Structure 1
C-alpha cells in the first residue's frame, strides 16, 4: 500500500534508507565563535551554495537571509541526508554563523544517545586546552560506527569547540530493544493519527524489502516514533535557542519531530519553530514538509 505522502515524493523510501538505515541504526543507533550579535558576512563555501527556497512562498533566499530567518526561531530543526557530506559541512557552518545573529543556547544531536551525554560534556570541557580531535575525539565520545566519523567528524569537532551545550537526543540501545519487543508507541492527538504510522510502515517496508505483515514492523514503527518523541522532549527542555541535527524523515513537519512537539506543548507558538531540510530537489519535499529547502548538493 502506498500512502498519499509517499506518492507526493517518490524518493521518500530511498531518502529514509539513506537517512538512517533503520535496521542498523535501531541498534546502534577551529576557533571559538565570535561574540554573539556581531554582524559579518558569513557565506558558506561556494561549493555548498546550492539553492535555498522558502517552503511557504517558494521564493529563493540567500544564505545570509536564511540565517536571519532561522535566528528568529527558538527551535531550529535541520534535516539531513546522513550520507551526504556537504550536508554536514552546512551544519558546521550554521554552528559558526548563527551565533553572529543571536546567542547560541544549545545544540541537539540525533547521532548521540543519552548514555553518551557525560562524554559529550567532558569532551567539550576539554576545549580549548587538550583539544582532542580526530580518532582521539571519536574514542572519547564512544562515537557509534553507525554514524561514520568521516561524515560527522568535522561537525562534531566544530560543536565541541563552541561553548553552548551539546545534547544527546537519541534513545539508548536498551530502550530501543525494549520498544522493539513491546511495540509501544508514544501517545498524542497528532502523533496518534493512523496515517502517520501507515506512512512510516510504507517507508520501512520499501526501504528494507520487507513484507507488510513482517513481525518486526510494529516494533520498528514504534522505535521511529519514540525516537521522534525523545528528540522533541530534548528540544523542549534544552536551553533556547536550540538547533537539532537529524535525518530528513525525523525532521518532516508532517510526520516527524514537529508533530511530537505539538503533542507535548499544544501552546507552542510554531512560528518560533523552523524546519530546514537539506535534500535533493527530486525528493519532492515542499512547504508541507519544511519551512526552508536547501537543495543542490
Structure 2
C-alpha cells in the first residue's frame, strides 16, 4: 500500500503536468464556457480593479449558486447573506469590510456581489489562531479535513520555490527561518479554501465561484491541487489574471490584463525605511 506521502507527491506531479498541458488564454467572450465546471477559481492581484471587473463578468456569465471569498470569514458571510446586496453601503456595513480593514476598497469588490445576487455567500478566511498554530506547529495542526496531505512534507524543489516566493512577497524583509512557517500558513489557507468550496458545492449543487489571490489559484500547489486530491471527480477550472507574460502560467486558463498603479508608490519602501 502506498504511503500518504507518496500519494501526495504523485498527485502533485500530475497536477503540474496537467497545468502545463492544458493551460490556455481566456478571452472575455469565452467566460460563459467556464459554466460547465463545478468549481471555478478566479485569481486576482488584490489591488487591481481590472481583475475584480473580470471576476464580476465571470459571475454574470456562469450564474453561480455560491461564491466563496478568501476575504471573508464565516460570520461575515452570514451577515452579508442577510443584507441587501443591491445597496453598496449596507452590504459593506454588514460585511464589516471597511471597518475591519485589511483589504482594498470595497468599491472594487462590490461588483462581484452585485453580479450574482442569487449566489450564497461563503467565507473561507482562516481564523487568526489557526494560522498562528500553523506557523508554530505546521499546517496540519487544527485542520479537521482528511486526505489533504498537510502532514506530509513538500517536495524539496517546491519548498524552495515557495519560500522564495514568500521572501519576495514580503520584500525580502523576513528572517530566513520564518519562510518555512509562512509556507505552512499558505498550505493551511489553500486546503481550507478548498474545503469551503467543496462544502459550498455540496450545499448548493454549484457552480461555485471562488474569489482569491493568484497564488491560491495555482493548479500546482494551490486550491485546485487540494480539490483534485480530495475530490478528483469534481470539475474544477482555475483562472489566473496576469499583468506580465509567463512562459507556463500555473492555471488552467489565464487572462492578460493591464497593470494598475494605485499611486501609493512601492509597497516595499516602508520596509527599507525601517
Q: What TM-score do you get using the length of structure 2 for normalisation?
A: 0.72
Aligned to 1:30: none
Cα shift at 1:98: 1.8
Aligned to 1:164: 119
Whether the 8 Å contact between 1:116 and 1:142 is mirrored in structure 2 is yes
Aligned to 2:10: none
Q: Which runs of 5+ in 2 are unaligned?
A: 1-19, 259-274
1:54-203 pair list within 5 angstroms: 56=22, 58=24, 62-68=27-33, 70-99=34-63, 104-123=64-83, 126-127=84-85, 131-134=86-89, 136-143=90-97, 144-150=100-106, 152-158=108-114, 162-185=117-140, 188=149, 192-194=153-155, 195-203=157-165
Aligned to 2:12: none
Aligned to 1:20: none
- C-alpha distance in structure 2 between counterparts of 1:151 and 1:208, whole Å: 26
1:40-51 pair list within 5 angstroms: none
Q: Which runs of 5+ in 1 are unaligned?
A: 1-53
Aligned to 2:253: 292
Runs (4+) off by over 6 Å: none
Q: What TM-score do you get using the length of structure 1 for normalisation?
A: 0.67
**May I ask how many residue pairs the two structures share in their alignment?**
226
Quickly say closer, same or farther: Cα 1:275–1:157, change in 2 above 3 A.
closer
